[in-house]
Amino acid sequence: MANLTGKAKAERTYDAIVIGSGITGGWAAKELTEKGLKVLVLERGPMVKHIEDYPTAQTAPWEVKYPRAKLPDAELKAHYPVQNRTGYALTEYTQHFFVKDDENPYTEDKPFDWIRGYHVGGRSLLWARQSYRHSDLDFEANARQGVGVDWPIRYADIAPWYDYVERFIGVSGQAEGLPQLPDGVFQPPMEMNCVEKAFKASTEGKFGRRVTIGRAAHLTAPTEEQLALGRGKCQYRNMCMRGCPFGAYFSSNSATLVAAERTGNLKIRPNSIATSLIFDEKTQKATGVKILDEATRQEEAFYAGVIFVCASALNSTWLLMNSTSRRFPNGFGNRSDQLGRNVMDHHLNVGAQGLVPGYLDEYYSGRRPNGIYVPRFRNLGDEKSARKDFIRGYGYQGGAARLGWDRDQPGIGAERKAALSQPGPWAFRIGGFGEVLPNPENRVTLNKARTDKYGLPTLTMDAVIRENELAMRKDMQAQAIEMAEAAGFTNVTGFDTGSPLGLGIHEMGTARMGRDPKTSVLNAHNQVWECRNVYVTDGAAMTSSSCVNPSLTYMALTARACAHAVEAKKRGEI
Amino acid sequence: MQTRRDTLLTFGALWTALAIPAAAAAQATPALGWSPKALSADQARRLEVVAELIMPASDTPGAREAGVPAFIDRNLAEWSGAAQRDAVKAGLDRIDADARAAHGQPFLALAPAQQAALLARYDGEARAQRGHFFGVLKDLTTVGYFTSEAGATKAARYDPVPGDYKGCVPLKEIGRVWAL
């Protein structure tokens, strides 16, 4: 495109550009607009307006076409071979919030499940809402063990930002006083059911391991601020992934983008695929973002003094890799050669399940969009919890429920129908979420030979879990079996169905923060070392993965980076 | 308990006993009330009886009232692959062939107990053989029933917006399995 000057360029110029509107892009939009900046949010997918664009939010089971709302195999095979790998997320109710794999290709040198939603709000509409803080056990681990590089921050640096984020998004949970899982600003916890309470008593009594209710970003006692945004209390429908018409769980659409919109400083441009950052060799600053307009297929440019890259870990990495210049021939800010390396996720699909004798007169009401949580109990720094076979640790998520009408019941006829019209026996299941170590050989690279329908290069994934994770998985399964059996459950079986990276949908680490520009892409404030007016605040920034769900940390890092950017701008540093 | 289904079938069996010519019997067969997309009209009539035997009307509606046969037919047309569709269609024909071989009567003319006995045999086979037509039919009937409005709201308990969560509630206060 021609270089723009004067008025034409002024109309395309903002104080800040945020790339992506998911869980971190929404936060960047809110923070920067509230601090008075004129902000352009670029979103590659279509608009999703809160409530009005949740077409299945109120759909009854008899209003869907297919059995169990499961899409036909032929359609899954043609359009969703990757998105369907979760086995639970993609249904007739949620289909419109997932990408079509045939239109969004990538290459799996090693199996990698890249689960994506391209639309305003991104995966903040689809996330599992579990919200846990990292602790200093996490922030210090790399340095202590000589793994990867040291985090440039410690818990004290981020703790106030965790407070700030939790207060806004609303996290229900129980304070436990555990050093490895710091307490936060909690709304009232959700309740455990009878069997979960029994499991908690057994596990705490016999193993000395804490069991708590999941800390989940659902409003249980909305604040004035949340009510003013149009959000309400959780209605226990557990239909979250369709979009919540009550605004009860946190998403960009229900909260941060609403707050940003109200400042009058926000412009969202959907259908705008950011393709590269514009770098000015003279000032050594980024001056804007090139996009491909999805509808017109025209390249356009927008300009700003501050750029927040929040496109999700791998897409932010793709954007930086695709932003080459004389200064950055190998990708933007990539003199360290760490861009695309150290892919992490959480490894999962390992644990135990069983049946629970008794409790047949007990049931529950409401569909709790949350489960129980067993915080990490391995390698806490004391002798008792230390393991010789692996470093780091894992937590479990799961719960108990009575089997429903969709259980195996032999025979046919009135007797079977009557049986299925009553709840079945109680069943119990917990699955581990384990920490994945950063390894430079686990990487994604830009594949220029394989382009997508826009002619843009794609990603190639070459990453696997390794010895430490594999050793940890043995313990994850064994301990799950032991705790379930100790609680008196029967037919207890362990499972380990393998864990390709990506399936945790917590991909991270590919533009890590660090203390040294030679070995990291970002500094302690999420600024690209070599171009300080570009901030990367999504999962790409993570230096290690911890074993807890990461979104809360991404949000806290984003809010913290926004405050830094506004101050740095005032001081004329960026 | 005498159910509506038994009454209808007893009536049908009576006709057969009176040796009404096949063409007349077919004419006397009640209209389906829905147009099959995957099945022939004969297969669809057998499916109506099979689905109702799997999930019969009792103190709550049965599969037929819940619209399950049409649900199954539509999904055989639009959701199942060709292999599953063909297996079910062949199975619905086999039912008739087996009925004639064992009792000298088409399946629809058998007494309900004879029909149920035949289905029980298939149920046994299906437990040992993945993809057996009867396993498919039983599953689709059960899912179709409990996700129908009648099944979800009458046989199960349906609450689209619970509003609250209580972890320990006596079952007798809920009464039935939750639909969701």
- Say yes or no to pLDDT of A2 above 90: no
Confidence of residue B29 (pLDDT cuts 50, 70, 90): low
> What local confidence, expressed as pLDDT, does residue A241 receive?
97
Question: Residue B12 above 70 pLDDT?
Answer: no
**Residue-wise DSSP of A182-228:** ----EEPPPPP-HHHHHHHHHHHHHH----EE--BSB-SS--HHHHH
Burial of A171 (0-12, 13-18, 19+ CB in 10 A): buried
Which of A238, A363, A418 lies at the smallest CB-CB distance from B174?
A363
Chain A hits for B134, CB-CB cut-off 8 Å, are none
Q: Where is A412: in which H helix or E strand? A: none
Specify the CATH number of the domain A190-213+346-435+466-499. Answer: 3.30.410
- Residue B26 pLDDT: 42
With left for phi above 0 and alpha for psi between -120 and 50, is residue A204 left, alpha or beta? alpha
Domain ranges of chain A: 7-173+224-343+441-462+507-570, 190-213+346-435+466-499
For the residues A247-274, what does the mean pLDDT come to? 98
Q: Per the CB < 8 Å rule, is B156 touching A405?
A: yes
Please answer yes or no on whether A365 and B164 come within 8 Å at the CB atom.
Answer: yes
For residue A384, is pLDDT > 70?
A: yes
Q: Provide the percentage of residues in chain B whose pLDDT is more than 70.
A: 83
Of A68, A366, A405, which has the smallest distance from its Cβ to B166's Cβ? A366
Interface test with B, best of A412, A422, A426 (most B CBs within 10 A): A412
A319 — pLDDT class (breaks 50, 70, 90): very high
Helix (H) or strand (E) segment spanning residue A331: none
Q: Give the closest-approach CA distance of B168 to chain A in angstroms.
A: 5
Instruction: Write the pLDDT tens digit of every residue in B34-47.
Output: 999 999 999 999 99
Q: Tell me A498's DSSP state.
A: -
Distances, alpha carbon A382 to alpha carbons A133, A179, A204, A377, A474, in Å? 21, 12, 18, 10, 21
> Mean pLDDT across the stretch A2-22?
88
Cross-chain residue pair A423–B178, CB shorter than 8 Å? yes
CB contact under 8 A, A367 and B170: no
Contact call for B3 and A365, based on CB within 8 A: no
Instruction: Kindly state the DSSP code that residue A378 receives in the 8-state scheme.
Output: S
Sole residue written with tokens 């025209």: A298
Give B 101-140 residues with CB within 8 A of chain A.
116, 119-120, 123, 127, 138-140
CATH 3.50.50.60 assigned to A7-173+224-343+441-462+507-570:
yes
Q: How near does any CA of chain B get to the CA of A554, in Å?
A: 29
* Helix A194-207 × helix A467-486 angle, to 10°: 110
The distance in angstroms from the start CA to the end CA of chain A is 27
CB contact under 8 A, A362 and B164: no
Reply yes or no on whether the pLDDT at A184 is more than 90: yes
Contacts across the A-B interface (CB distance below 8 Å): 151
CB contact under 8 Å between B75 and A68, yes or no, is no
CA A277-A279-A285 angle, to 5 degrees, is: 115
> Is the reported ipTM for this assembly greater than 0.90?
yes
pLDDT per residue as tens digits for the range A335-375: 999 999 999 999 999 999 999 999 999 999 999 999 999 99
Give me chain A's average pLDDT, please: 97
Q: Which residue reads 């692959």 in tokens?
A: B81
Q: Do B165 and A65 touch (CB under 8 A)?
A: no
CA separation for the pair A487, A483 (Å, rounded): 6
| Measured distance CA(A20)–CA(A122) in Å, rounded | 8
Listing DSSP states for chain B in one string gives ---HHHHHHHHHHHHHHTT--HHHHHHHSPP-SS--SSS-HHHHHHHHHHHHHHS--SSS--TTTTTHHHHHHHHHHHTS-HHHHHHHHHHHHHHHHHHHHHHSS-GGGS-HHHHHHHHHHHHHHHHHSTT-HHHHHHHHHHHHHHTSHHIIIIISB--S---S-EEEEEHHHH-S-B--
List chain A residues with CB under 8 Å of B161: 235, 237
Q: Where are the domains of chain B?
A: 37-54+63-156
**Model pLDDT for residues A114-154, shown as the tens digit of each residue:** 999 999 999 999 999 999 999 999 999 999 999 999 999 99
CA distance A359 to chain B (A): 10
- Nearest Cβ partner of A237 from B55, B149, B160? B160
Categorize the per-residue pLDDT at B1 as very low, low, confident or very high, splitting at 50, 70 and 90.
very low
Mean pLDDT, rounded, for A426-433: 98
Measured between beta carbons, the chain A residues lying within 8 angstroms of B142 are 405-406, 420
pLDDT of residue B28 exceeding 60, the answer is no
A259: which 2 tokens?
Answer: 């707050």
State yes or no: pLDDT of A181 exceeds 60. yes
